[in-house]
Structure 1
Amino acid sequence: MFALIAALFFLVALIFDIAGTAVGNVLTSGTLTTAGLLCVALHLLGVGAGWSPLKR
């Protein structure tokens, strides 16, 4: 799930970068790239994977 969110963040960041626009001072292509990298890191860490410990 976090990989999909990261892909969407990267897509919006790419569109912002190509268009040369930003939404205010907070939502820029750099901010979206950082958010995307955070989601990729969480995905690689296994957060949200839905695993559970083995039950005996």
Structure 2
Amino acid sequence: MLAIVAAVLFLIAFLINAADIATNDIFTSVNFMLVGLALLALHVAGIGSGWAARGRRR
């Protein structure tokens, strides 16, 4: 789930950068990319994955 949100943020950052949209200091393409990278790092770390391998039940 976090990887999907990160991909959407990367898309928004790309569109802001490609269209050369003037935004305020908070909504810049670099900030969107940094938040996307943080979410991607959390996804790779296993946070927010939903399923956890806790062992086998018999």
CA RMSD of aligned residues (A): 1.6
Structure 1: give runs of 5+ residues left out of the alignment: none
| Identity across the alignment (%) | 36
Question: Number of residues paired by the alignment?
Answer: 56
Change (3 A) 1:29 1:46: same
In 1, the alpha carbon distance for the partners of 2:47 and 2:39 equals 9
In 1, the alpha carbon distance for the partners of 2:38 and 2:15 equals 19
CA contact (8 A) 1:2 1:42 kept: yes
Q: TM-score, normalization: structure 2?
A: 0.84
In 2, the alpha carbon distance for the partners of 1:22 and 1:44 equals 32
State the structure with more CA Rg: 2
Structure 2: give runs of 5+ residues left out of the alignment: none
In 1, the alpha carbon distance for the partners of 2:31 and 2:24 equals 11
